[in-house]
Structure formats: C-alpha cells, structure tokens
Structure 1
Amino acid sequence: MHFALQSKKVIVQGQMKPACIEIKNELVVAIHNYDHPLDCQVIDHGDLVILPGLVDSHVHINEPGRTEWEGFNTATQAAAAGGITALVDMPLNCIPVTTTKAAFEEKLDAVHDKLWVDCGFWGGVIPDNIDQLDDLLNAGVLGVKSFLIDSGVEEFPNVQANDIRKALPILAKHNVPYLIHAELDCGSHPDPIIGDKYNSFLASRPKKWENDAVALMVDLAKEAKQNGHDCKVHIVHLSSDEALESISEAKQAGLRFTAETCPHYLTIASENIPDGKTLFKCCPPIRENTNRESLWTAVKDGRISFIVSDHSPCTPQLKHIDTGDIEKAWGGISALQFGLPLIWTEAKNRGFSLVDIARLMSHETAKFAGLDHYKGQIKVGYHADFAIFDESKVFTITNEMIKHKHKITPYVGREVTGEIKQTYVRGQLVYSDDSFVSTPKGQVLLKQK
C-alpha cells in the first residue's frame, strides 16, 4: 500500500495549509507541498479538509453481555461515519464488567472481526478489585474509571474516599489516568417526583453534586501528591460550570488534573428540552443555557481539556420513549457519529477554527489515552488516520442516517454544518459517502509496557 492524499486544506503542525500526505504500510511517511510529484497514486480532495482522525476516549459499547444495547460492529461503524478513527471503550455496561484481567480478556475475545476503527479500553475500579488493579493494568487497559455515585449497574458499585486513597498510588505507579464520574449524592433534599418533567429531573441532580465530587477529587489528588504519588485524575462529562473553579485550583496547584465535556452539554440547553422527551436524559444532566455558555468559555481557555461523545446507548424500551417517563428512562445520549458537525456548527461562530477542533477532539484525547505517539495528528511516523470533511455542507440529522445499533438520538431534526465524506484508518478507506468499505480493519490498542 503506497499512495498519497492531498488537499488545499490539511491540518498539520497546528495549522491548516495545502499539503500532500504520502502513505505507505499504514503510516504517514512524508508530508509534501501540495502537487508534489510522486511515483504513486495521488488522490486530490480539492477544498475538502483533511483532518487527523478523531479520537473519542469516552464510548460505551456494552459488549459482551448487553449487545442488544450496542455492540462493537455497529458502534465502530458509527464512529467511522463520524470521522473517528480510534475510540476507548468504557468498562461498566458490559457483562462481565471490566474490573479483572479475566473479564478484560473476555472482552478482547468479543471484538474479533468487529472493529471498523481502532479501539482501546478502560478498566474499572470498584471497592473489591483494588488488589487486582496491577494485573488489570498489566493486561493492557489504558487507565481506569470509578463512580462516586450509584452507576446504575449493580456489578459496578461506586467507590468511597478510602477506596480512592488505596487506588491512587497504584495508578500513579502505572502512570495512567483515573477517570471519575463526579457526582456525590448530598442527600440534602427529599426524593423528588420526576415523572415526565425535565426540570424535575434537573432539580434532582443539582450542580452541588458535581461541585462536591470534583472538590473531593482535588483534595484526594493533593493528599496523594503530598504522599509522593503524582496521579492523573480526570473528571468525565463535566456539566456543572460551578465546578470549574476547583479544576482551575487543581491546575494552579500543579496537579495532573483534567476534565472533559461532551457535545450534548455544549449544544443543548435545558430550557429547550420538552417534557416527556426521554432521549435527552443523561447523568449528570444537561443544564441551563447560561451554564452551557460557561462551559464553552472553559473549553476556549483550557480549563476543559477536550470534547468526547459519552455515547451511551440502550434499547428504545429502556428509554421509555412511548411513555415519556424521564424518571424510569435509562440515562445516556446516543450521538457517536454526529460529534464533529454538532461541535463545528457551534464552535465556528465562537471563534474556533478547525485546527482548534482537531486539537480538542483528536490530539488532546489521544494524549490523554496514552495514544499520542501514533494517533491524534497528521505527522510522519504516525498512523495514516484521516477524516475527509466538507466544512460548509449543511444537513439535517435524521433517524435513517444513524449507524449505531438503535436509530434514536435527541438530535433528530437538528440542522448542522460539516459532513464527513470519507474516513481512513491506518491508510485503509473504511467509510466513503455513507457506505462502509471492505471489511472491519480496526485493531485493538493496548497500553504500551
């Protein structure tokens, strides 16, 4: 395999410029000037943007065990259709949960011949597996995740502060991130009656839950550092703007402390969510428009490090779509393939460039997952992972275009700007003009020892 892609708009070395990318044996072997003569096939994409393939480090795929919710085949197809060339799978909605080496090996067996993009994996920390963390991390997971609140999955119970104290030195030794679902049930309000009312659901999970959880993690990370353990602590799917102050404090104190947010927190405001629309339910919840604007400011100034999907699918029945019962509905947003157009539609009007978006959705996510020595940039020696993107194409999201397993998303009917035309994974065309090419060519990505 020896060919080249060129365009007037290639994102390389932190800028967009005309370039020709030479590809051989799955890698970028040279980056030439546009129209550089080569003795191989050169595919010219004209004015379409060649982005580094996106890296989504927060995806719930649920296989093995709950493949009626989602599976690796459909999830990685949706990823490819969204310009994502590598993703990292979450440990908790599969059966067994990924909290032991044996469970991880079972998951690796399940992915054979199903990956359309490359895939890494997070493990989990629960109260009774801390003595097995070394084995789990040595098996190749890229890091681990815990909940500070009921996860909704019985086999994945939440941790307490003392569990975290035991886990942090082990994670520091392995130099992997500790991902935290940061909500603490403060127990300071009576259980509300939610029913089909979105505002009742929003009130049931106040900002204080997130604020207190983030503050706790800052304190525990400081304590660990004072004891000689410099840990990478990461807050997943941040939704409360009030927690940003704690995150800033942690960064200023020299802690390795980061946070992510997601398209749904940046593109939807609670004021616009109708009652009974269960597809909008997620935890922590989508908050008010003023909160949304604060999150955008934090993305701009770096307090929030990157943007990921938190694709969290389930069956339509579990979403209680017909009854509109938000209280009973499973929480989670399904939108894996639409992240780039959703974010670009909002970001381009806020002074962000596509170079910024590539950093926020590819380079920084690859670095976070420990994949940045071969993913996340168009660079000589890196995997030839590309998304060919029409930055000005306007389209409306429909159920019919959805590639993940269940054709439901809260974004149906939304007009967005920017369409993925093609996706290359390690130099192999896997998606082109709404069709998948050849057979699954994705590889497993394990932590390098």
Structure 2
Amino acid sequence: MKPGSKVNTVRSRRVVCGNEIMPAVVVIEEGKIQSILPGSSGPPEAGFEVMDVGDSVVMPGIVDCHVHVNEPGRTTWEGFWTATRAAAAGGVTTIVDMPLNSIPPTTTLDNLHEKMEAASGKCFVDTAFWGGVIPGNQLELRPMIQAGVAGFKCFLIHSGVHEFPHVTQKDLHSAMEQLQHTGSVLLFHAEQDVSLLSEEQAEPRDYSTFLKSRPDVMELEAIRTVTNLCLQYRVRCHIVHLSSAQPLALIQAARQAGAPLTVETTHHYLSLSAEQVPAGATQFKCCPPIRGAANQEKLWSALKAGHIDMVVSDHSPCTPDLKGLDSGDFTQAWGGISSLQFGLSLFWTSASQRGFTLPDAVRLLCQRTAQLCRLDDQKGSLTPGHDADLVIWDPEKEFQVKEESIHHKNKLTPYLGLRLRGEVCATIVRGRVVYNNGSFSPSPMGKHLLIPPGEGALTWVPPCVC
C-alpha cells in the first residue's frame, strides 16, 4: 500500500490478538478497528481493498510513553517532524513527549499550549504530552490536567537542564496534594544524591569512572522516597527508566502494601552492558547509567516475572558536540541515548532469545504503556472500537543499523553497526499507512491526544506473571 493511503482491511497469517497468534482479517472503518475475523479468507464484502501481508506479524502499534522531542527551543537536538518519522519507521504509532528538554518546559498551562502549537502539523504519529513538576508550580498542575496532559514528571536530582530544576520533599508533598483524586500520575526520575567517597584523579575516559559516580544506592534511596509518598497519598506513581535491579524488592513490598506504583525499564538497559562500553565512547552515556551484565539479567528476570511493567525507549538525543566524542570525557558528556526508531527490534533481538513471546511484546510495549497514560481505551491492543494503529513486521528478519537508515535528526547512537532481529515493514495510524518499506506518507497524519480528566480514574492493573 502506498504511504498516505487509507486501509480498509489487513490480512495476515500471524495476527496478535490478546494471548493468541492466529490467521485473521482486521477490518477497519473510519480509522477504527471495526472487527477482527478469524481465518485468512477473503474480504468481508465486495469493494474492500485488502492489504495482504502474508506471514508478516500484525500487532498493535507501539505506544512509547517516554520520548524527549525537545521542541520548541532545542530543535537542533530533535524535533516533532524527525522524531515522529523515526517513530513510524520503528512501528511506534503513539509517543508521549516528556516535559523537558524543550524551552520552555511543559510546566505551566501556557507552556503546554506553546508545546502543542510547536507540534501542530509536524507529527507523523499520534502524540500525547507529559507535564512537569518543578519547585513552585503546584497550582499549574490541575489546569494542565484539565487541558489533557497524560500526567507529570519530576526529578529528585539535577535534571541536566537549568530550566527544569529538581524538587524537594516540600515540593513533592505540595504536588501530591494537588494530584490526589485526579486519577493523574506522577513520574519520577528516581536518583537521589548520596554521600560518595571521592576518588582522586579518576580517568574521565573510563566508563567505570562515570558508573561509580552514579551507584545503585542512588536509585535505591530515591525509590524509597517514592514508595513512602505513594503509600502516604495513594496517588499513582511511576518510576521511569529503572537501571538497577537492587530496588526491585522495595518496589514489590510497596505494591503488596497497596501502593499504586508502576515501573519501566528501557531498551538500553536490556540491550547494553557496562562491560561493552569502550573507553571514550560517550554515545553510551545515560542517566541512570548502563550497569553490568549480571544486573541486566536480573532486569530480564524481573520483566519475565511481571515485576517490571513495561519497556520504553527514553529517546533522549542531542547534537554530536554535546557528547564530547573528541575528548571522550564521560563526566562532561550529555547523558542520553537515541533509540526511538529501533525499540521493537532491540527488544525482540534479546527477548526472543529468553523465551518471550509476541503477546509478551504487545503487553510490554503497547498495552501497559497505554494504560500508564490512560490511552488504553483507544490504543495498545487490537480491539474493536480502538484506533486502527498497526505495526506490520517480520520478527525473523535481521538487519544492520546503518547511519543512512536512521531517521532521528542526529544519527549518533550506540547501536550503529549492530545487527538486530525484527524488521518493521509498515506502520498504520488510525487506518492510514504512514510508513511502508522506507517511504513515508507525503504529509504528517498524527494528531494530538488529550486525555480527559477523570475523578479517581485508575487504569493500572497489578502485574501478572508471564
């Protein structure tokens, strides 16, 4: 099908519906899934143009709820046009934009309106927006909820940009009071400053120098703070980009005590390990840091057991100069990894070797992420009445990440040259083909997703065992 065209029917011998993979025909009407017909027979009625994809897998479009687009203000780092094209090329049909590193940050109602205006007419996939909690903006939170933000994010440590300062305990209590009974969610960058023994003349080009500067205990203590707040206020809380397995027992204990707490990890923590990082290779720097291989296996085990709810990209790009590749100084380089386009393939390359199934991929990359931001009534599953957001892909096909195939604005990524398993063939957003085998729709087709406020709304469900 030509990019930009409308699809009536998609037929495949491998359609992922719930926990089943079966031959089926997905019937689309006015951008919604009208029905899913088991079997691979012809179209339900004359006049329907069938997109027959053979053995390619058809599953819900990915909902990546952790993406830094950086527009307005830092569009040299990334922008909605390039970010959402990269998303479409990776089978992502919905992104949720983080409140930083744009200028201004999404911390007031006016700034939210400025963000949405900057995104207008530039999105190839659907886009929702997180708000931010910073010191002193607690009275902006409810107006932003009314305006449709998916929830809020805060930092317990310096964010890396001066216009998004981290919060104090007082700020957190003020924010929690505002968020009670709103159904909204507060996301935490869960690292907290702790006293560390100084190391004299540590080599800044050695990855171990950076890793020792952000030890596991920083996450452990921050998550202790989060669990206490969550239990006190019973406001939905979410831990972003968990890198350390050490706090998992603390998280589980809080959940068992009734805390409405969820947690994500990222593709880079599941795909990369500290032992792989060469000296001076600052493209691997992110915060929290990529930890050792033994820790990584514990994250995979937690994911398998349902103790980690979802996997996201945390796409956080910058211009190459900010990575300081010439000096290779990990202590000064910007911390962030570009991966939005390759999330599905990164996940499947490792997950398929560990016994994860295609329904597991849907649960972790689509359903749970949609639930977090209260989009699960329209996104994240192949259900009649939901948006006809589909990714069509070949989970057996391997490809190499090459610079010329990267659609992010800046091509620097630790995945360059890597061979991945699982190639995206086509991406459909609300019944229209936005990407097909390297080509994009002539114009952006994404829309803004504004989440209606709901008193006490709670779509989080307890984690299940795979």
Task: State the TM-score, normalizing by the size of structure 2.
Answer: 0.94
Match of 2:35 in 1: 30
Q: Does 1:132 align with 2:151?
A: no
Q: Which of 392, 400, 412 lines up with 1:396 in the alignment?
A: 400
5+ residue gaps, structure 2, are: 1-5, 454-466
- Residue 230 of structure 2: SS of its match in structure 1? helix
Matches within 5 A, 1:399-414: 399-414=403-418
Match of 1:183 in 2: 191
- Residue 410 of structure 1: SS of its match in structure 2? coil
AA at the equivalent of 1:89: D
- Decide whether the 8 Å contact of 1:194 with 1:201 is kept in 2: no
AA at the equivalent of 2:217: K
- Separation of aligned partners in 2, 1:191 and 1:406: 34
CA positional deviation for 1:2: 6.2
Matches within 5 A, 1:27-176: 27-33=32-38, 34-38=40-44, 39=46, 40-176=48-184
- Decide whether the 8 Å contact of 2:81 with 2:122 is kept in 1: yes
- Separation of aligned partners in 1, 2:66 and 2:8: 32
Match of 1:343 in 2: 347
Q: Does 1:20 align with 2:28?
A: no
Q: Which of 267, 274, 279 lines up with 1:275 in the alignment?
A: 279
Bigger mean CA deviation after superposition, 125-134 or 280-289: 125-134
AA at the equivalent of 1:208: V
- Separation of aligned partners in 1, 2:333 and 2:75: 18
Match of 2:338 in 1: 334
CA positional deviation for 1:448: 1.3
CA positional deviation for 1:323: 2.1
Match of 1:203 in 2: 212
CA positional deviation for 1:123: 0.3
CA positional deviation for 1:413: 1.2
- Separation of aligned partners in 2, 1:392 and 1:401: 19
CA positional deviation for 1:131: 1.9
Task: State the TM-score, normalizing by the size of structure 1.
Answer: 0.97
CA positional deviation for 1:14: 2.3
- Residue 388 of structure 1: SS of its match in structure 2? strand
- Separation of aligned partners in 2, 1:283 and 1:57: 17
Structure-2 change in CA distance of 1:200 and 1:85 (3 Å) = same
- Separation of aligned partners in 2, 1:194 and 1:118: 44
AA at the equivalent of 1:72: F
- Separation of aligned partners in 2, 1:198 and 1:138: 44
- Residue 77 of structure 1: SS of its match in structure 2? helix
Match of 1:354 in 2: 358
AA at the equivalent of 1:35: S
Deviations for 1:301-339, whole angstroms, at most 9, x for unmatched residues?
A: 111100000000000011112221211110000011101
- Separation of aligned partners in 1, 2:232 and 2:55: 52
Q: Which runs of 4+ in 1 moved over 3 A?
A: 191-194
Q: Does 1:10 align with 2:19?
A: no
- Decide whether the 8 Å contact of 1:194 with 1:326 is kept in 2: no
- Residue 159 of structure 2: SS of its match in structure 1? coil
- Separation of aligned partners in 2, 1:51 and 1:19: 11
Match of 2:433 in 1: 429
- Residue 423 of structure 1: SS of its match in structure 2? strand
- Separation of aligned partners in 1, 2:93 and 2:127: 9
- Decide whether the 8 Å contact of 1:399 with 1:409 is kept in 2: no
AA at the equivalent of 1:364: R
CA positional deviation for 1:36: 4.3
Structure-2 change in CA distance of 1:194 and 1:448 (3 Å) = farther
Match of 2:458 in 1: none
- Residue 321 of structure 2: SS of its match in structure 1? coil
Bigger mean CA deviation after superposition, 16-25 or 36-45: 36-45
5+ residue gaps, structure 1, are: 225-229
- Separation of aligned partners in 1, 2:24 and 2:236: 36
AA at the equivalent of 2:108: T
- Residue 322 of structure 2: SS of its match in structure 1? coil
Q: Which of 236, 245, 266 lines up with 1:241 in the alignment?
A: 245
- Separation of aligned partners in 2, 1:432 and 1:272: 34
CA positional deviation for 1:189: 2.4
- Residue 199 of structure 1: SS of its match in structure 2? helix
AA at the equivalent of 1:143: G
- Residue 174 of structure 1: SS of its match in structure 2? coil
AA at the equivalent of 1:393: K
- Separation of aligned partners in 2, 1:447 and 1:151: 26
- Decide whether the 8 Å contact of 1:191 with 1:204 is kept in 2: no
Structure-2 change in CA distance of 1:325 and 1:17 (3 Å) = same
- Separation of aligned partners in 2, 1:135 and 1:87: 22
- Residue 282 of structure 1: SS of its match in structure 2? coil
- Residue 68 of structure 1: SS of its match in structure 2? coil
Match of 1:261 in 2: 265
Matches within 5 A, 1:361-380: 361-380=365-384
CA positional deviation for 1:173: 2.1
- Decide whether the 8 Å contact of 1:402 with 1:408 is kept in 2: no
AA at the equivalent of 1:382: H
Bigger mean CA deviation after superposition, 180-189 or 140-149: 180-189
AA at the equivalent of 1:255: A
- Separation of aligned partners in 2, 1:178 and 1:103: 18
CA positional deviation for 1:191: 6.6
- Separation of aligned partners in 1, 2:406 and 2:121: 21
Larger relative contact order (Cα-Cα within 8 Å, sequence gap ≥ 6) = 2
- Decide whether the 8 Å contact of 2:99 with 2:106 is kept in 1: yes
Structure-2 change in CA distance of 1:300 and 1:446 (3 Å) = same
- Separation of aligned partners in 2, 1:142 and 1:80: 21
- Decide whether the 8 Å contact of 2:9 with 2:43 is kept in 1: no
Match of 1:227 in 2: none
- Separation of aligned partners in 2, 1:258 and 1:211: 15
Using the aligned pairs only, state the percent identity.
Answer: 47
- Separation of aligned partners in 1, 2:97 and 2:292: 29
- Separation of aligned partners in 1, 2:297 and 2:18: 29
- Separation of aligned partners in 2, 1:180 and 1:124: 10
